[in-house]
A and B are shown apart, each in its own frame.
Chain A
């Protein structure tokens, strides 16, 4: 079925470093793709989205480009801050069911 795969394991990096979190997807149709962020003690919040191939979603300095040829939607930020420490989830829309399928999430820890 339709699904997303995120890279394994937490990500630890220093402040002002470049962040990449990989996300690849499997889908039978043409899904929309999303990144959600979950700060400690909070619910998931929509960070950015892209609804068709080659679209770039961006928000708060984060970017991700919908790549149909590589079935990917990698999240990037050029210079992370301590406040970006959170769990990041990739997700895609599933068929016509008004549902999303989520990846397992990546814990990002930014050290001052």
Chain B
């Protein structure tokens, strides 16, 4: 398996623009997680899905952030409009059974908002 695939790897955008981050989980995994990592705040869980259904989005910082999972093989995290404080590395992870196997993380998208 190719692992969890995220795109793009790097994104530079201007403040106010819409940004869409993409994630393809491992085939067969039924849970998907979006994290944000910054030096100041560390690793933060934004939202997670179980069987394509959002279960907990309490970590989504503002209404500017939204996430979708239209099918088992694709998810998006959208920021609209983007702000400089959204600059961070965004990770996607997937899992079939966290108790036994934990999560598999993607390589991340480094977002810079200027």
Contact = CB atoms under 8 A, between A and B. Distances in A.
Contacts of B104: 46
B102 A34 contact: yes
A45 B43 contact: no
Interface in A40-77: 42-46, 49, 51
Interface residues of A, number: 22
A98 B99 contact: yes
A100 interface: yes
Given A44-B91, A89-B43, A104-B42, A51 B99 contact: yes
Interface residues of B, number: 24
Interface stretch (B13-21, B71-79, B105-113): B105-113
B100 interface: yes
Given A32-B99, A32-B100, A102-B43, 5 more contacts: A43-B4, A46-B103, A46-B104, A93-B98, A98-B31
Interface of B: 4, 30-31, 33, 42-43, 48, 50, 55, 91, 93, 95, 97-108
